Amino acid sequence: MGKTTVIHHAPLVGYPDDKLYTVRVIDGVIDGIEEEVEGKYINGYDKASVEEIDLAGKEWLSPSMIDWHVHTKLAALHSNRLNLSNCQSASEVFESVKQALNDPKYDTSLERNLVGINMRNSNWTDEDLFSLEKMNELSIERPIFLLYNGYHSMWCNSLALEVGGYGSSLNHKGHLVEQEAFDMFPKLTTANNQVVDNWILQESKKAAAMGVTEIVDLEMEHNIVQWQRRYAAGNDYLRIHVGMYTPHIQDAIDLGLTSGDDVPHTDGLIKIGPYKIVTDGSLGSQTAFCHDAYPGTKDNHGIYYYPPESLSEMIETGLKHNFKFAVHAIGDYANHLTLQTISKASSKPRIGSTIEHAQLLDIEKDLPIFKDLGLIASIQPSHLVDDRDLCHKFWPGREHRAYAFKSIVDAGIPIKLGSDAPIAPMNPWEAMAVCITRAGQGDEKNPFIEAEILDLETAWKASTSNGKTRLEVGDRADLCILQSDPLKLDAAGLRAMKVNGTMLGGRWTHKTF
């Protein structure tokens, strides 16, 4: 007989709160949930061979958490880069970079390039200070990359442009947007795989400590071989769904793999994820593709990457090989064109396919199509906090259609929550807190479009790894031990949640006992 764990005197999230239960885990599966009767614990099993845990009625047992949108490598690199999120102007950015150039934390012996991240420009009045000349004034000896929040655009000095293959003869102005910025990502770091893999291992442990057992990794590189290497080196803290982009999808097809299949040599922990397609940009970089032009411009509607026939070909490739989809669409026009294209495909997308972000919507016209296609809205609530000022600046008069969580749910469309880490930190408790308040910590009395507040139970089910409110017999033993019942908490309580144990498939990936 395989490993057995029995958890006694356990209050269960989603069950009557005046009762205690015994939960039995055998070989990574929840084998039994029984309301406790005095002296009845494991029903005939030899206690000597069983791991027994007594919660004494003081800690709650629940399903574990999932994050449906993560850029794992980028998130690991994020913690080793210059965070510019608190800068209130371009001038402050330049001053922060000057200080960082003399800070041992960013010494060139650790990383030759200096990468600044998370510039938020919604309230800047001096953004026109940015230029290639100004970037070169910061340094002509070290490549400098300064990224806007969302990672859809960046500023570079001349050395950074050279890293990206832009010679002086190309007369580049130093501002990279969308595909140019994406193409630069693999060149932002000089750290080797061993260093980066260790950083990713630390991020995996942090995730486990928050109760997370599963993520959808949408990193923009060939991740099959990357995760095989990390798993072989001992990174087994999370279930990973490896997203596939167009340049990599043929590799999976050649291996005979599709969404949900096991990545070879990872013992079923790592699976092929969805086919990721990016159709437009982001609101902060004014590249999200919208029906209306951005304020102050005559014809800037953002960027839509593909004509309908090209996107249609990509959709048909995914359908032919039975892939789920994860289609990035932020602007309302991008969502409209994407939904229209998918609706004209040879068949409906595979169950479990998502529209990623779905931030700006034409609620009346597009939500019925969204529902009819059986798509999931994979949303990142914490972006709402970051983007609310951007919505007022770049989407005035349409804010009621931004981050329309309740409207999406009321239309009968399933939702799943994620972080888009590192664009926002991976933290399912923060994501749920934002859902039920439409505000950041300390600003709960100032919700962004109060009518779109989501109820806690819906947010909870969109966050759990089993997609349910509670644990049930037959579920994988992916579970958490929590300090309190999350379904009885307000936003402050969710944000303060302590996870005392995280189990993945019957083994502990985090525990404080």
What single letter denotes the amino acid at residue 492? A
3-state helix, strand, coil in the chain (%, to 5): 35, 25, 45
Residue 205 pLDDT level (bands cut at 50, 70, 90): very high
3-state secondary structure of 298: coil
What is the rounded average pLDDT of the residues 236-241? 98
- pLDDT at residue 47 is higher than 70: no
**Tens digit of pLDDT for each residue in 148-177?**
987 889 999 999 999 999 876 567 899 999
Element (H, E) at 33: strand 29-35
* Dist CA 382 CA 441 (whole Å): 11
Instruction: Give residue for tokens 């969204």.
Output: 370
Contact 139, 155 (CB under 8 A): no
Residue 192 pLDDT level (bands cut at 50, 70, 90): confident
What single letter denotes the amino acid at residue 64? S
- pLDDT at residue 37 is higher than 80: no
* Dist CA 335 CA 355 (whole Å): 8
- pLDDT at residue 356 is higher than 60: yes
Query: Residue 151: its pLDDT value, please?
Result: 81
* Dist CA 358 CA 329 (whole Å): 6
- pLDDT at residue 38 is higher than 80: no
* Dist CA 257 CA 265 (whole Å): 13
Residue in 164, 162, 188 with CA at minimum distance from that of residue 76: 188
Residue 2 pLDDT level (bands cut at 50, 70, 90): low
Residue 449 pLDDT level (bands cut at 50, 70, 90): very high
Query: Residue 266: its pLDDT value, please?
Result: 98
Residue in 122, 151, 134 with CA at minimum distance from that of residue 98: 134
- pLDDT at residue 85 is higher than 60: yes
Burial 276-292 (b: 16+ CB within 10 A, else e): bbbbbbbbbbbbbbbee
Element (H, E) at 408: helix 405-410
**Tens digit of pLDDT for each residue in 108-132?**
887 899 999 999 988 899 999 999 9
Mean pLDDT, rounded, of the chain: 94
Instruction: Give residue for tokens 């200080």.
Output: 99
Sequence-ordered list of residues with C-beta below 8 angstroms from that of 120, at least 6 positions apart, any chain: 85, 87, 148, 149, 284, 386
* Dist CA 98 CA 165 (whole Å): 25
User: Going from the N-terminus, what domains does the chain have, and what CATH number goes with each?
Assistant: 81-187 (3.10.310.70), 194-511 (3.20.20.140)
Query: Residue 113: its pLDDT value, please?
Result: 94
Residue 321 pLDDT level (bands cut at 50, 70, 90): very high
| Pair of tokens at residue 96 | 């922060």
**Whats the size of the chain, residue-wise?**
513
Query: Residue 79: its pLDDT value, please?
Result: 82
Q: Read out DSSP for 153-180?
A: EEEE-HHHHHHTT--GGG---SEEETHH
- The percentage of the chain sitting over the pLDDT mark of 90, rounded to a whole number, equals 86
- pLDDT at residue 1 is higher than 80: no
End-to-end CA distance of the chain: 25
Write down the H helix ranges in 13-70: none
- pLDDT at residue 200 is higher than 90: yes
| Pair of tokens at residue 465 | 């790894």
- pLDDT at residue 5 is higher than 70: yes
pTM for the full model? 0.88
What is the rounded average pLDDT of the residues 237-260? 96
* Dist CA 64 CA 481 (whole Å): 9
Contact 469, 484 (CB under 8 A): no
Residue 3 pLDDT level (bands cut at 50, 70, 90): confident
Residue in 216, 220, 218 with CA at minimum distance from that of residue 207: 216
